[in-house]
Structure 1
Amino acid sequence: MEHSPQGRHTLGTVGRCVYLKGGSVWDWQPKKGDSPLLQRLAEIRNRIINAFGTTEAAIQHMAGWSSSKGLDTSQAYEYFRPKRAKQPWQTVIWKAFIPPKYSFILWLGLRGRLSTRDRLMFLQEDSSCSLCINMQETAKHLFFECPFSNFVWTNIRQWLGIRRHMSTLLSAVKWLIKEKTRSSVQNKARLIALACTVYSLWRHRNEVIFEGKTPCPEELVISIKITVYRILLSLFPHELITY
């Protein structure tokens, strides 16, 4: 809001101003010809008023967003950002003993945010799985249904003594939470192996696509085992790791 040379309050965006004529932005109602941004500002204002019941209560609450230095944008952002219920896996994948890059890829996978080829069809590129060439590459196929990834998971599960068949990332994490054992080494080994396997499959897939690497599941299994061993030995240097 600004003051015009005539002393009138104005509300505006680039190329468009609305004179409030001594009124308040809290009373102003947008017109049909007003810009989408001004109409959006009115919607936000109405949301705030509805949330606190009255205009006075809304103004009083918003006063807490300001300080001597001006608007505290962090408080405003915290109020407006979408609030989602915490997922049970959030406290599992972000562990100090899991390399951050592994946790990040697992997190993207659990949220369905990995850029698999089925999500890039608008680019009119080949959508087939780069590891088996037989099916369309979806997250579920890439990590569980593909013969390549199925071979990797089977070997890792047998190595860790996991009998349950994994079909989705979410079911795998839920199973790890539910079947937590008394052994700290075993619990950590399973979590590390899950995150490492997801990361390794994604990285191997990218190497095949962008570097022309030949898919080799046996090589990947060995690499995952070595990585898990190294992390476990750094966590438990005085214990005998029997995997």
Structure 2
Amino acid sequence: MKVADVYIHGEWRWPDTWVTRYPSLLDLQHFTSHSADKVVWRSSSGLELDYGTSSVWNDIRTAHDEVPWSDMVWFPQAIPRHSFFMWLLVNKKLKTQDIMARWLSSGNMNFNLMCCSLCTLGPDSHEHLFFECPYSDQVWKGVKDLAGLHNVTNSWGSIYDHLVHFRGSKNAKHVIGRMVVSAAGYFVWQERNARLFSTKKRGANRLIEVILTTVRMKLHTMRFKRTSQVDSILQDWSLPRGLVIEDDDCG
């Protein structure tokens, strides 16, 4: 209820159920105010703020320091399902075979018989899949140059360090680099699972094509500031000149 609903013509008009439960309401002093009713939020530090979900959420949530990889996982140009996958990847939450091998086996299941479904050379792991496996290494080498990642090796540590270093950059090359790494990891993981749970297989060259096509389609929805670097990017990715604008860097 609003104050105006219970304070009428200079008198408190409390609902009977309120007075029964809280008799002290009868002792409440009268007041004079010409201000309009409004909803406010008194913060944990005692400040009165305009009520809003943002101010309330920031006040009641448990805050932590921002992680260094946030901008390389969540950024405006990202494909949402790829961002969610990258969140799992950087936190090493994917159920790779080396992790499953630590679980207690039951029945006739023997985790020692597991092998990477991409190369069959041994159990897969986080580092193996991204991108030290011969199959995923071939995929990485097939996509990294177009993403401007020529000098980045196939180890996840090297890739992670590069992305974190440029995590806040709006430079078109760095944005595309994040997109390509996310797409490469997503589709390698997808291929790994497809081979584990079905008979479907795609060669490395086919997966490279899928990754680059997916990123190219996303680039068609973006706009780029006119620079010599962007002209080169448009040419390399076979994108139309109509994507160039004069204002933002990479939108």
Whether the TM-score (by the shorter chain) exceeds 0.5 is yes
Please give the alpha-carbon distance, in whole angstroms, between the structure 2 residues aligned to 1:230 and 1:211: 28
Determine the C-alpha separation between the residues in 2 that align with 1:180 and 1:84. 19
Distance (whole Å) between structure 2 residues aligned to residue 138 and residue 212 of structure 1: 21
Deviation of 1:198 after TM superposition, in Å, equals 0.6
Work out which of the residue numbers 193, 196, 199 in structure 2 matches 1:206.
Answer: 193
Tell whether 2:208 aligns with 1:221: yes
Alignment size in residue pairs: 168
Task: Encode CA deviations 1:166-188: one digit per residue, 9 max, x unaligned.
Answer: 34435313313435798732222
Q: Provide the rounded CA distance (Å) in 2 between the counterparts of 1:107 and 1:169.
A: 14
Q: Normalized against structure 1, the TM-score is what?
A: 0.60
The unaligned stretches of length 5 or more in structure 1 are 1-60, 62-73
Q: Which of 72, 77, 81 is equivalent to 1:92? A: 72
Distance in 2 between residues matched to 1:171 and 1:87, nearest whole Å: 18
**Cα distance between partner residues in 1 of 2:140 and 2:214:** 15
Question: Does residue 112 of structure 1 match 2:105?
Answer: no
The percentage of counterpart residues that share the same residue type is 23
The amino acid that maps onto 1:242 is Q
Structure 2 residue ranges without an equivalent (≥5): 1-43, 45-56, 237-251
In our comparison, the structure showing a higher alpha carbon Rg is 2
- Please identify, of 169-178 and 201-210, the stretch whose mean Cα deviation from structure 2 is larger: 169-178
Indicate which of 123, 128, 137 corresponds to 2:124. 137
TM (norm. structure 2) is 0.58
Superimposed CA distance per residue, residues 63-103 of structure 1 (whole angstroms, 9 cap, x where no aligned partner): xxxxxxxxxxx99x956xxx754321112210121111101
Task: Say whether the 8 Å CA contact 1:151–1:217 is kept in structure 2.
Answer: yes
**2:182 matched to which residue of 1?**
195
Change (3 A) 1:94 1:134: same
Q: Which residue of 2 aligns with 1:162?
A: 149
Please report the RMSD computed on the Cα atoms of aligned residues, expressed in angstroms.
3.1
